[in-house]
Amino acid sequence: MNTLTAATAARPPFELCFQSLYRTGHRLVFPCDGQGHVDLDALGQRALNNYLYARTLIGREFSWPAVVAVH
């Protein structure tokens, strides 16, 4: 029998990753669907601020985001 917690069942199977252009290993990651759409209403205030920050600085601080499957 496969048992999942509510948190595991509700977690999207993909993440949107913004990799820093200048700081090795630094990235911002947000849950998303397979097309890279992030549910902004589901983010907390800090995560929402970080998401909007990363989107604003694509090409200046962060690379274009990549959709990555969560294992």
pLDDT tens string 3-55: 444 444 566 799 999 999 999 999 999 999 999 999 999 999 999 999 999 99
Strands 14-19 and 66-69: antiparallel
pLDDT of residue 71: 79
Q: Cβ distance 69 to 29 under 8 Å?
A: no
Domain that holds residue 54: 6-69
Q: How many domains does the chain have?
A: 1
pLDDT over threshold 80, residue 64? yes
Kindly report the pTM of this predicted structure.
0.80
Q: Phi/psi zone of residue 51: left (φ > 0), alpha (ψ -120 to 50 degrees), beta?
A: alpha
17 is a domain residue: yes
pLDDT over threshold 70, residue 70? yes
1 is a domain residue: no
